[in-house]
Structure 1
């Protein structure tokens, strides 16, 4: 585990926005009412985690704005199973529109495009960035360990390019993005597309990603179990039972040349912070156009607190502004 009693920061020592303390207290309260969060059955545990996420989002994440059509769609996939995506299309967006494949968070074992927090944040982002966003329902560990989720993401991005006419999107302006575990998958997807298909997304947006699965840098020393480090490390063997995977930990990929413009967003008080920022530095050294933004006062999950925290609204606007710059778009008309 990172750090020790002499070096780790305690949550109580931080000067956090009052909205963060309210969110933390409510999460603790809700967890005590959801014993299935620790159930041995992954499906039961996952359902409890979804209830926790949705109950928090009702209070702490601003409602989805009007002016965005939300609908599920299916993409073909090798083997015939198909891949479900949730599509967020702003009203009035010009065809063919730029698009982003989005990969949700959840530590590789939880999460879904159907979570209320994702609906609310991604609808707002699609409108503010002038993009069509496709959120992928990728396979989860432990039932489907690495590389299942990565394979789904690569296949989905390729299918978006193939189905661009039907989906009314521009095949030359399809990027990839993700938050937390999804940010890690987005980085791996970009690398795998480059190596296996000679293609790269138009852009990659990585929010609070785990660039490596080991403690890294000063943030790995400062922010321990109170900040989710223990839980994060516990899922690694479920997701990566073999211990290694070529694209599982982007920070360990030696060749970072030929990659697209990249946005990396980190939280100040996150044990993953320094690994993600180091990944940005290495991408820049390899020739990529990189923008790294650190959210002051943020914990790993607080960018979702758009109903109660000004800093979360600023985070989302900064992300949308960076996407508008990357895709040369404007905020969609309401």
Structure 2
């Protein structure tokens, strides 16, 4: 009989307790079809609305519609700013997670508001189109369009255009990496840093960790195959997948902004993130990497009070401060 993910001998004790208490989302999409996704998204959005955080004092939030890719609809961005600011601030351009199939900027409201206060920055979070209704290249092109708008409107946003970082978690981390590649290859906007939190980078699913975690807390192999299939259809895992969809396929990682990459020990993405961080460093990109022992996918956001979660969150904030605060 297969071992329950909560019984993995390496699982951090505080995270194990949270798993055993229940309430964490799992990666089991074995009975889900693409037709089920609209209802799943509606339920998630309703839950988010019911739990909407009261934003801390000193942070303002607004939504805007900005130009999307050529010939495509406008893109919504959610802008988080300090109520008062003296001079242009650094900016974090953020891309939410959700396996390419679910999610919205609202899932990261608390984290982005905290970044505004802890780093002293403006955050612009993009609401990109989701697969499978909008397969590649729609998601990454929406992300790139929002980045272009952010850079072009730096003055209006109170942002220093020389201090814009891009970041994201999970699918958002993969899209952040893909958007950074697009920015490099299209000649801008300039990026000061990339924060890739447990990023989803490789559609091929051939690494040892991809095979190891057929069962996993939060996001397992089947869920990952489902997400990539939604984004790429029959092309997933084949020979003709663009690097902007699956950044792990990029042969040349030179010329990218300095990077922070982290990942949990007990997740599908472990090995592709390890390899991507190593290849960034080998390409001359200054790179900080963390492999969090005993941690599953998305642990820091799902169990924020655990000691290892606080360590991970602190490391991310510290990296952004070093890159952006002059």
Aligned partner (choices 163, 166, 172) of residue 173 of structure 1: 163
Aligned partner (choices 93, 98, 109) of residue 101 of structure 1: 93
Query: Cα deviations across residues 26-56 of structure 1 (Å, max 9, x unaligned)?
Result: 326x88xxxx97682432121224456778x
Q: 8 Å contact 1:213–1:249 — kept in the other structure?
A: yes
Q: 8 Å contact 2:15–2:299 — kept in the other structure?
A: no
* Distance verdict in 2 for CA 1:257–1:223, change over 3 Å: same
* Distance verdict in 2 for CA 1:114–1:95, change over 3 Å: same
2:252 aligned partner: 255
* Distance verdict in 2 for CA 1:42–1:217, change over 3 Å: closer
Q: Normalized against structure 2, the TM-score is what? A: 0.86
Runs of 5+ in structure 1 lacking a partner?
330-334
Q: 8 Å contact 2:211–2:221 — kept in the other structure?
A: no
1:332 aligned partner: none
2:308 aligned partner: 311
* Distance verdict in 2 for CA 1:48–1:80, change over 3 Å: closer
Aligned partner (choices 217, 230, 234) of residue 222 of structure 2: 230
Aligned partner (choices 112, 123, 127) of residue 137 of structure 1: 127
**Aligned equivalents of 2:80 and 2:125: distance in 1?**
8
Q: Does 1:245 align with 2:245?
A: no
2:59 aligned partner: 68
Moved more, 240-249 or 176-185: 240-249
Q: Any idea what SS the aligned residue of 1:178 has?
A: strand
Q: 8 Å contact 2:200–2:269 — kept in the other structure?
A: yes
Moved more, 280-289 or 246-255: 246-255
Moved more, 38-47 or 185-194: 38-47
**Aligned equivalents of 1:38 and 1:17: distance in 2?**
34
Q: Any idea what SS the aligned residue of 2:196 has?
A: strand
Q: Normalized against structure 1, the TM-score is what? A: 0.84
Aligned partner (choices 140, 148, 151) of residue 138 of structure 2: 148
2:23 aligned partner: 27
Q: Does 1:294 align with 2:291?
A: yes
**Aligned equivalents of 2:48 and 2:13: distance in 1?**
20
**Aligned equivalents of 2:272 and 2:318: distance in 1?**
24
Deviation of 1:199 (Å) = 4.5
Q: 8 Å contact 1:88–1:123 — kept in the other structure?
A: yes
Deviation of 1:311 (Å) = 2.0
Runs of 5+ in structure 2 lacking a partner?
none
Q: Does 1:196 align with 2:186?
A: yes
Deviation of 1:196 (Å) = 2.1
* Distance verdict in 2 for CA 1:218–1:38, change over 3 Å: closer
C-alpha RMSD over aligned residues:
2.7
* Distance verdict in 2 for CA 1:80–1:13, change over 3 Å: closer
Aligned partner (choices 155, 166, 172) of residue 182 of structure 1: 172
**Aligned equivalents of 1:308 and 1:100: distance in 2?**
24
2:148 aligned partner: 158
**Aligned equivalents of 1:166 and 1:254: distance in 2?**
37
